[in-house]
Structure 1
Amino acid sequence: MKKVFLTLALSMGAFLTMNAQEISENAIGLRLGGGDGFGAEVSYQRAIGNDNNRLELDLGWRNDDNFDAVKLAGLYQWVWNIEGGFNWYAGAGAGLGTVDDKRDFRDDFDDNDGAFVFIAGNIGIEYNFDIPLLLSLDFRPEFGFSDYDVIDDFAPDIAVGVRYQF
């Protein structure tokens, strides 16, 4: 019993005295990637509280042969230090957007233009350099809801982020 208590006390002491790396108060940059998602997003991160939590807002757009789209996503993220400048994070959020389907239809009334909403998860890894640069790689599964076939489904989104911290 004494060994269990001693191990538990040492573990709690080590956990409570760890020096976790603090995240930057603000970061702004680009999130580039896609999958079925969007080609580029302007990304802003804002630290919340003292617990390495943050809010991420992304404004994305896509222009290709099939459709044009714009979306706004908001995610709450929890950030944990791995070692040194490496962090990993997980989060959840939602967003909204609009899509303009450019495909030709036989019937003009069978359009897929309009607004949509989505929910999203987020998991990733990042490196915080000694200079004000933050690089990240993340996976964001999104589930869209609309009356339009273009957005009404699951969309895996893998992206690389490059952000300036201030």
Structure 2
Amino acid sequence: MSGSGAPTIEAPWVEGARVAVVAAQWHPKVTDALVAGAIRALDDSGVTDYTVVRVPGSFELPVASLHAAKAGYDAVVALGVVIRGDTPHFEYVCQAATEGLMQVGVSTGVPVGFGVLTCDNDPQALDRAGLPDSREDKGYEATQAALSTLAAVRQLG
């Protein structure tokens, strides 16, 4: 598992920021935990104005994230999970979600936290979901990244 070499990111105090958390519905045990981690990070950063929106799957994250960015949210956190199967579907969905979310951030200037788990199996996803026995909390981390980027963008003017 990756994780080694990851920076320690302390989400800045960004009270007053409006944040959209856009989460997939597939694999609810994992995605519900990712959302819970995102909300903890928002609370830790003083963000009280947030909306959680659920979409069917990770493929749908970019379009909903684009609408959130265009609706005036200061940052978007995209959360989902794609588990490798026996067909190339995994590669297509992962690539579409990744490129789509990057395009949302670049085209709108709104920071997008990337919390889409791309795992080979269920245990890998559960280990990254932020559950009590997980080793990582990618929902929290994706939110920290979005808020830190928001603070940096604000600093740049």
- TM-score by shorter chain over 0.5: no
Q: Normalising to structure 1: TM-score of the pair?
A: 0.28
- The structure whose residues are more often helix, as a share, is 2
Structure having the higher Rg: 1
Q: Normalising to structure 2: TM-score of the pair?
A: 0.29
- The structure whose residues are more often strand, as a share, is 1
Higher relative contact order (CA 8 A, sep 6+): 2
